[in-house]
Each structure stands twice: as structure tokens, then as C-alpha cells.
């Protein structure tokens, strides 16, 4: 006897909605493990930038010998970001994240064996660069946007706040550990913690990754890893991500601690300034996610970039004292974290939410490419010319604000994507 059509439709609908049921307590474990991995890896990744000057003085090298490997690592991350998102879409979260953590641990441990600048190019440039391609922003975008893209800001903000909190914890712990035990012990300890985190991910994150990544249709599962042509909106977003990377990772993550120590601050004081920046970022990421879900994302983003430009243009007029640098770190950290939730929402609205993984990979490539250019420019100018580099990036932030206004916001009644 043939089953009635309405009953068949009900059965089909029942099985179709199973993947997006509210998560159980067991279903929340994978997301918690990923958040913990973001926290630990972010804490470990700050070591090269924080301890670059200590390594340079201990080994008798030039400052450029430790600055260029960091810049090279940023460039490698940019090149590998699209491949990282492709790996997430194909294999889920577990194994790409485990490989990234193991590579990070090996790179940190091998730093202690460096006897020439070329060894740092391998450890920081290739090792940390490849592991950094699977960034917290990519994981946060794919996990946070598994439902409505118009309301993913808060989830994304909470996940990315773990990156800032982890980096702050790494700075505070590493700076004190180095003063007590030396920089080699700090790198070894970080490698052990990262390897332990990889083991936690293997235990708690399912191999398929369906609980923590957006669901894909059969057609999109085999889609190409490059984004479809979206016209000028794609290039406008790429330019915004590029400028965002130049004004955050390019200036702060790789150069601020070197600037602080070059201005006469000690290791602990430099770490405190960076920690203030990152704590401001943790607050900003949560606040921005909340605001991006309730106000037009493009207007918020334009305001964030205008404020960022003003702060960068103000820094050269300070005396680079501990108080002034701490004030700069608090204000700039808060603003630097505000942009990403609004950017993810605009990217979904202008490029489509179903291919957010691949699109995020290319946007992160643009983000890290901008960071590479800014970092290389500051290294080339040297400490004496830092004001030119910071002010130039500040002016480009005004361009990003103008581009953000031209984009469209998502409709308020957007359907949840599956």
C-alpha cells in the first residue's frame, strides 16, 4: 500500500531538520573543545613576537633577523588560508585542527634549537605560518554562522573573544616565565600544552565536524574552493579585509611589542601593554557581536574604521611612555575587535551564506596579505620611521570606512541557512 503523500512529506521534513536541532549537552562539547583550542593556540602564537627581542639579544643577532621570519610567517598564513577552509569543508574540523596544533607545537619546540636566522624562517615562517592558516576567525565564522547569518554576530564575537583572552594569558604567563626560567623553557612549556590540546580535540570533536560546521547541500559540497564571481562587492570586501589586516595583525601582533621594547620598556611592561590591548579586544569582540545583530553592520563598520584611523594618527604625537602606550592599547584593542563580527555579516549578505567557508578563506588571505605588507613596511622603515607607517595605515582605514558604506546589510528576516 502506498504511503500518503502528506505523511511522506512529514517524514522527509523530520529527517531534514535533524542536523539543526538545538544542541544537547554532548553536542556542546565539540564547540567547547574548539573554543579551548582557540584559547591555547592563541596563547602560544604570541611567543615569537613577544620574545623576538630576547632571542635576538641572547643569540647576538640583528633585530631584522627575528622580525623578518615573523613577517614571512604572516605571508605563508595568507597563502594557505583558502586551503585551510577547503580542508574544513572536506574533512570537518577535527583533523585540520589537530594537524594545525601539532605543527604549532613542533614549530615552538624547534625554536629552542635555532642557531641561525634561517632556522627561524623554517620554524616561524613555514611552521607557524602554515599552522596559523587555520585561524580563529575562520573557525569562528564557520561555527558561529551555522544558523542565521543575520544573527551570527554574537556567536562569532564570543568565539573570537577566546583568541584575545588566550593571547593575553600567553603574554602575561610567558613574560613572567622568561624572566624566571629563560625563553627556551617558555617555548618548551607552550609546545607541551599545545600537544595536550590536540589530544583533547581528538577526544571531543567528531571526525565529521557536522555538529560545528554549516550544513552543505550535495551540490555545494563539491563546489570549487575559489569564490564565484560577485563583482565589485567581492573586491570591496577583500580591500576592507586587507586594510583590516594591515591595521591589526600587521601593526600590533607583529610590531607593537618590538616598538615598546625599542622605546625603552622592559619585557614585562611590553607584555602588559599587549595584554591591555588584548583584553580590550576580548571586550570589543563580544560587544561588537551584540551590536552587529541589532544595528546596520555597514554603518557600524564605517564608524569603527574612522575611530581606528584617528587612534593611529594620534599615536605618533605621544611620547611612547608606559601610560600612553597602555592607553593606546586599551583604545585600539577595543576598536580592533569590533570589526570582525560586522565584516562576517556583511560578507554573508553580499557574497551569500552557503559558501561562507570558502569565502572566509579568501577574505582571510586578503587580511593576512595586508598584514604582511604593513609588517614589512614597518620593518623596512625601522623604529625611527614608525610614525610614517602607523599614520599611512591610519589613512587607509578611512578608505575602508568609505567602502563599508557602499555595501548592503542583510535583510532582518533572513532565513536560517542550512
203: CATH: 1.20.1250.20
pTM above 0.85, yes or no: no
Mean per-residue pLDDT, 45-68: 84
How many domains, the chain?
1
Would residue 378 count as lying in a domain? yes
CB atoms near residue 147 (< 10 Å) = 16
pLDDT score of 219: 40
End-to-end CA distance of the chain: 34
Would residue 20 count as lying in a domain? no
pLDDT score of 320: 77
Grid coordinates in use for 64? 631584522
Would residue 53 count as lying in a domain? yes
Planar angle of CA 353, 359, 361, nearest 5 degrees: 135
- Choice between 58 and 351, residue whose per-residue pLDDT is larger: 58
Answer for the pair 278, 407: CB distance below 8 angstroms, yes or no: no
Would residue 242 count as lying in a domain? yes
Would residue 222 count as lying in a domain? no
Would residue 48 count as lying in a domain? yes
Answer for the pair 138, 364: CB distance below 8 angstroms, yes or no: yes
Q: Is 410 helix (H, G, I), strand (E, B) or coil?
A: coil
Would residue 22 count as lying in a domain? no
Domain of residue 205 covers 29-211+231-406
Q: How far is CA 182 from the centre of its chain?
A: 28
**What's the CA gap between 30 and 202, in Å, rounded?**
10
**Mean pLDDT rounded to a whole number for the chain:** 76
Q: Is 308 helix (H, G, I), strand (E, B) or coil?
A: helix
- Choice between 319 and 166, residue whose per-residue pLDDT is larger: 166
pLDDT per position as a tens digit, 367-396? 878 888 888 887 787 766 777 888 889 999
Q: How far is CA 178 from CA 54, 182, 186, 246, in A?
A: 9, 4, 6, 29
Would residue 102 count as lying in a domain? yes
What stretches of 215-296 show up as alpha helix (H) in DSSP? 218-221, 232-247, 256-262, 267-292
Amino acid at each position: 500500500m502506498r504511503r500518503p503523500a502528506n505523511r511522506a512529506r512529514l517524514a522527509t521534513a523530520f529527517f531534514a531538520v535533524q542536523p539543526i536541532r538545538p544542541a544537547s549537552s554532548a553536542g556542546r562539547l565539540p564547540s567547547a573543545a574548539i573554543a579551548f583550542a582557540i584559547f591555547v593556540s592563541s596563547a602560544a602564537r604570541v611567543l615569537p613576537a613577544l620574545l623576538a627581542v630576547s632571542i635576538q639579544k641572547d643569540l647576538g643577532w640583528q633585530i631584522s633577523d627575528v622580525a623578518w621570519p615573523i613577517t614571512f610567517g604572516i605571508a605563508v598564513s595568507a597563502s594557505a588560508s583558502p586551503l585551510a577552509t577547503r580542508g574544513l569543508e572536506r574533512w570537518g574540523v577535527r583533523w585540520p585542527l589537530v594537524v594545525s596544533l601539532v605543527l604549532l607545537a613542533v614549530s615552538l619546540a624547534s625554536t629552542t634549537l635555532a642557531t641561525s636566522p634561517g632556522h627561524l624562517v623554517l620554524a616561524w615562517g613555514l611552521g607557524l605560518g602554515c599552522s596559523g592558516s587555520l585561524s580563529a576567525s575562520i573557525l569562528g565564522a564557520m561555527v558561529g554562522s551555522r544558523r542565521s547569518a543575520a544573527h551570527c554576530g554574537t556567536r562569532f564575537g564570543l568565539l573570537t573573544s577566546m583568541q584575545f583572552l588566550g593571547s593575553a594569558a600567553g603574554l602575561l604567563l610567558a613574560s613572567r616565565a622568561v624572566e624566571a626560567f629563560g625563553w627556551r623553557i617558555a617555548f618548551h612549556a607552550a609546545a607541551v600544552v599545545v600537544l595536550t590540546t590536540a589530544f583533547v580535540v581528538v577526544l571531543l570533536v567528531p571526525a565529521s565536524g557536522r555538529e560545528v560546521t554549516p550544513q552543505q547541500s550535495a551540490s555545494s559540497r563539491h563546489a570549487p574552493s575559489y569564490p564565484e564571481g560577485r563583482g565589485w562587492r567581492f573586491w570591496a570586501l577583500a580591500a576592507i579585509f586587507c586594510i583590516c589586516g594591515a591595521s591589526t595583525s600587521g601593526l600590533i601582533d607583529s610590531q607593537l611589542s618590538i616598538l615598546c621594547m625599542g622605546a625603552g620598556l622592559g619585557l614585562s611592561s611590553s607584555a602588559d601593554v599587549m595584554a591591555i590591548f588584548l583584553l580590550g579586544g576580548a571586550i570589543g569582540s563580544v560587544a561588537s557581536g551584540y551590536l552587529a545583530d541589532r544595528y546596520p553592520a555597514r554603518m557600524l563598520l564605517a564608524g569603527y574604521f574612522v575611530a581606528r584611523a584617528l587612534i593611529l594618527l594620534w599615536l605618533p604625537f605621544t611620547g611612547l611612555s608606559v601610560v600612553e602606550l597602555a592607553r593606546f592599547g586599551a583604545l585600539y584593542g577595543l576598536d580592533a575587535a569590533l570589526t570582525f563580527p560586522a565584516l562576517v555579516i556583511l560578507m554573508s549578505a553580499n557574497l551569500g551564506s552557503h559558501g561562507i567557508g570558502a569565502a572566509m578563506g579568501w577574505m582571510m588571505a586578503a587580511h593576512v596579505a595586508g598584514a604582511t605588507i604593513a609588517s614589512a613596511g614597518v620593518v623596512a622603515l625601522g623604529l625611527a620611521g614608525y610614525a610614517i607607517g602607523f599614520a599611512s595605515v591610519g589613512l587607509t582605514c578611512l578608505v575602508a570606512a568609505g567602502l563599508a558604506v557602499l555595501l548592503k546589510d542583510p535583510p532582518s528576516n533572513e532565513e536560517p541557512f542550512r
